Amino acid sequence: MMGALDGLRLIELGQLIAGPFCGQLMADHGAEVIKIEPPVKPGDIAEGDPMRQWGRGQPLWFPVVARNKKTITLNLRDKRGQDIVRRLVGKSDFLLENFRPGTLEKWGLGWEALRALNKGLIMIRVSGYGQTGPYAPRAGYGSIGEAMGGIRNLAGDPSTPPSRVGLSIGDSLAATFACLGAMMALNHRHKTGEGQVVDSAIYEAVLAMMESTVPEYTQGGFIRERTGSILPGVAPSNVYACKDGEILIGANQNSVWARMAEAMGRPELGSDPRFATHNARGERQAELDELINEWTRTLTVEELLATMEAHGVPAGKIYKAPDMLADPHFAAREALVKVAHPDYANLVMQNVFPKLSATPGEVKWAGQPLGAYNEAVYGGLLGMSGAEMDALKAEGVI
């Protein structure tokens, strides 16, 4: 099965999430991604990318974010390691990194140095604040970018401090925008033969998702704040209690609300002046939610779901992993896939998205052991002899 990015090679220097998730997206769709990690030295507590140790209960994050990648070890702080990067760059289409700005320049691997080796190189740089500006040299994590970009202030209930959304969304957004930028740069290269730098900042990736929050302030002086499970003025759209759980219902369009009123056995509410229009429902949002809750509490989750489906009202459970595994729609679209792994007998992860009709991509393998592709890359791609590789390994370079 061919991926849309077959034939393209990316060198991944990054670690954790903000860089490597971009590499995952490209590897999912067929790019050859060579992931560089530091070699293990005697006495090291951890090995390779710190993601190898991350996960709840078991370190299961690395098998996902490093899937489809060829893992090699290389000491980027050693001049011989830096020379090897230059050799790899000469044979590659992309270089991806998420170090603090200035780090690659310190190693002689900055943009000007690398573009001189490969004019078609696309350099993908992910950082907290971008490659320029007064904050560029600062250390930046996804959480700080989420705060600065505005999403933390809007996450959670108004009665609590700003919340995390439960995922490293800032890192993942920056990586997704980096991948998007890389595809744009690739199209430019098709037309001109020239590469360029893709500069993806975490705070800007979050900012891009902030809808109309800035013009709401500049034009109207309004500052959005946390609202919990509701979108103020948009009703009904909330989480509602059932006999045996909760369900999310979105019936905030006039025609949909009329159908929901029929489902409730109270069709008159659809034309009731208190609720018939968008503005009226928004003004009586709390009253309407309580009215709906009185009805939903009389039904089980499955009964309510069936009723909503029969009347064409958008509704759904609030899923956790077991719900996803049991859902027939997930199964029909192969949204989850079981991946072979030497240490985990039941390794299931999200499949490749988006789905492309001709070149859908695939999960070929989970994240590999440290240095699993050293021989293939150093011996095969770069043509090193066994003696040369042995010497570099003994000296801590690979």
Q: For position 291, what pLDDT does the model report?
A: 97
List where CATH 3.30.1540.10 sits in the chain. Answer: 237-321
pLDDT at 46 (0 to 100): 67
For tokens 């590789």, the residue is 389
CATH number for the segment(s) 237-321: 3.30.1540.10
Q: Which tokens is 133 given? A: 């500006």
Q: What is the pLDDT of residues 92-147, one digit of tens each?
A: 999 999 999 999 999 999 999 999 999 999 999 999 999 999 999 999 899 999 99
H helix or E strand, kind and range, residue 241: strand 237-241
Q: pLDDT of 174-228, one tens digit each?
A: 999 999 999 999 999 999 999 999 999 999 999 999 999 999 999 999 999 999 9
Q: What is the mean pLDDT of residues 56-65?
A: 90
**Integer Cα distance of 285 and 46 in angstroms:** 52
Q: Is the peptide bond before 354 cis (omega within 30 degrees of 0)?
A: yes
| Residue 2 confidence class, pLDDT cut points 50, 70, 90 | confident
For the domain 9-209+351-394, what is the CATH code? 3.40.50.10540
| Short-list 206, 204, 205, 199, CA closest to 181 | 199
Instruction: Note the helical H segments in the chain.
Output: 20-28, 62-65, 79-89, 103-106, 111-115, 142-149, 151-154, 169-192, 202-207, 213-220, 254-263, 278-283, 285-296, 301-310, 321-326, 328-332, 374, 386-394
Tokens standing for 380?
């095969």
Q: Tell me the pLDDT tens digit for each residue of 250-298.
A: 999 999 999 999 999 999 999 999 999 999 999 999 999 999 999 999 9
Phi and psi torsions of 134, nearest 5°: -65, -25
Active-site annotation holds for 171: yes
Contact 17, 175 (CB under 8 A): yes
- Looking at the predicted structure, is the pLDDT value of residue 42 above 90? no
Q: Is 94 helix (H, G, I), strand (E, B) or coil?
A: strand
- The pLDDT of residue 125 is 98
Q: Give me the mean pLDDT over the 68-88 stretch.
A: 97
User: Which amino acid is it at 350?
Assistant: Q
CB-CB contact of 121 with 38 (8 Å): no
H or E segment to which residue 60 belongs: none
- Provide mean pLDDT across the span 314-336: 97
Average pLDDT over residues 49-60: 87
The chain-wide mean pLDDT, for the chain, equals: 96
- State the pLDDT confidence band at 232, using cuts at 50, 70 and 90: very high
Say what the pLDDT of residue 296 is. 98
Distance CA 19, CA 5 (A): 18
Tokens of 212: 């109309």
Give the helix/strand (H/E) hosting 126: strand 122-127
Which candidate in 28, 49, 93, 171 is catalytic? 171
Domain(s) of CATH 3.40.50.10540: residues in the chain: 9-209+351-394
Choose among 126, 140, 135: nearest CA to 174.
Answer: 126
Q: Answer whether residue 45 shows pLDDT above 90.
A: no
Angle between helices 301-310 and 254-263 (to 10 degrees): 130
**Beta carbons within 8 Å of 75's beta carbon, 6+ residues apart:** 38, 39, 81, 396, 397, 398
* C-alpha to C-alpha distance for 104 and 123, rounded to whole angstroms: 11
What is the pLDDT at residue 1?
65
Alpha carbons 40 and 275: distance in angstroms, whole number = 65
Strands 315-316 vs 336-338: parallel, antiparallel or unpaired: unpaired
